[in-house]
Structure 1
Amino acid sequence: MIRIATRLIAGLLFGLAMSVPAWASASRAEAQSQVAAAVEHVKKVGPEQATKDFISQSQWKVKGMNVIFNDMKGVVLASSLNERLIGKQTFEMKDPSGKEFVKEFTRTAQKGEGWVDYQFINPETKKLEERSMFVRRVPGFEGYVGVAITK
């Protein structure tokens, strides 16, 4: 189980790190705007179609901001950056400091919306990087959308 979780974390961190230079240029306001657009998209087309769109459409990869779409049980429904996470239960994932960041994303989204800080190791630079993800609950659906930026 620990080995599987470690591989999952490594895959997530690798996938997240693939567009770090683009993330560095994204602001908090841009992340919030992208989340708002993604939530509206889910409300307009429904969760199933939105899931497909987040994966395939370039508008969900603006400035390298990765749109994630998770259910409240920590299952990744869509990731516009790392398709290997789709369908995976990520609730127990921890960042390098030991923070269970997916649980924190979920707790924050259950309250409505907010920012969650966490860390990851950039596999290219091998440096620890500080991240912040803005998450928002999707009304009428037991899930949330999030977009991360580099702090």
Structure 2
Amino acid sequence: MTHFTRRIALALFVSLCSALPAHASSPTKDEAQAQANAAVTQIKKVGLEQAIKDINSGAEWKTKEMNVNVVDFKGVVLASSLNEKLRGKDTLESKDPSGKAFVKEFIATAQKGEGWVDYQFINPVSKKLEERSMFVKRAPGAEAFVAVAITKQ
């Protein structure tokens, strides 16, 4: 992956993680975790392929500024309820402004089951550096994970 391609992938993945700008009614950790768990339940119910289609349709999967994502363990975005341009993008080598390889950390955390990963990004709307936390949970029966981010307050 060229330097330019990595920067494009990072910009796209950052938009995946950022959804909308934070304000007083930003989602909580509990809400993000509940939304990720709902996506995992959907995967269990209809299978990964159909759940990806459902999540990509957006409406019920983007609530209170939350964007549900499904990413495989190679870093390829399979579903994004917010940004269709991200679907199919390889984000494995993406790094945040501090140099943290956050997608690799998402994968390592999800491979263990579930957990939170902190990272930074430049908000595409405000252009300000923001602290984020992504809840990741392994997708049942798949080499992939569900992810929902919040802005840290």
TM-score by length of structure 1 reads 0.93
Distance in 1 separating the partners of 2:61 and 2:48: 15
For each residue in 1:27-80, what CA deviation from the matched residue of structure 2 results, as whole angstroms up to 9, or x when unmatched? 000011001100010111111111111111411001011101011111110011
Distance in 2 separating the partners of 1:23 and 1:72: 34
1:58-73 map, 5 Å: 58-73=59-74
Q: 2:42 — aligned with what?
A: 41
For each residue in 1:3-42, what CA deviation from the matched residue of structure 2 results, as whole angstroms up to 9, or x when unmatched? 0111121233345445123795200000110011000101
Distance in 1 separating the partners of 2:16 and 2:134: 15
Question: Does structure 2 conserve the Cα–Cα contact (< 8 Å) formed by 1:22 and 1:63?
Answer: no
Q: 1:117 — aligned with what?
A: 118
Q: 2:103 — aligned with what?
A: 102
Structure 2 residues without counterparts, runs of 5 or longer: none
Structure 1 residues without counterparts, runs of 5 or longer: none
For each residue in 1:104-124, what CA deviation from the matched residue of structure 2 results, as whole angstroms up to 9, or x when unmatched? 000000000000000000122
User: Which 4+ residue blocks in structure 1 deviate beyond 6 angstroms?
Assistant: none
Distance in 2 separating the partners of 1:15 and 1:134: 13
Distance in 2 separating the partners of 1:23 and 1:59: 22
The AA in structure 2 aligned to 1:36 is N
The AA in structure 1 aligned to 2:133 is S
Q: 1:147 — aligned with what?
A: 148
Distance in 2 separating the partners of 1:23 and 1:137: 30
The AA in structure 2 aligned to 1:85 is L
Tell me which protein shows more helix as a share of its residues.
Answer: 1
Partner of 2:61, secondary structure, is: helix
What is the RMSD computed on CA atoms of the aligned residues? 1.6
Distance in 2 separating the partners of 1:78 and 1:48: 10
Q: CA deviation at 1:83?
A: 1.2
Distance in 1 separating the partners of 2:66 and 2:19: 11
Distance in 2 separating the partners of 1:23 and 1:90: 30
1:21 matched to 2:27: no
TM-score by length of structure 2 reads 0.92
For each residue in 1:90-147, what CA deviation from the matched residue of structure 2 results, as whole angstroms up to 9, or x when unmatched? 1100010101111000000000000000000012222100000000011211111010
1:7 matched to 2:8: yes
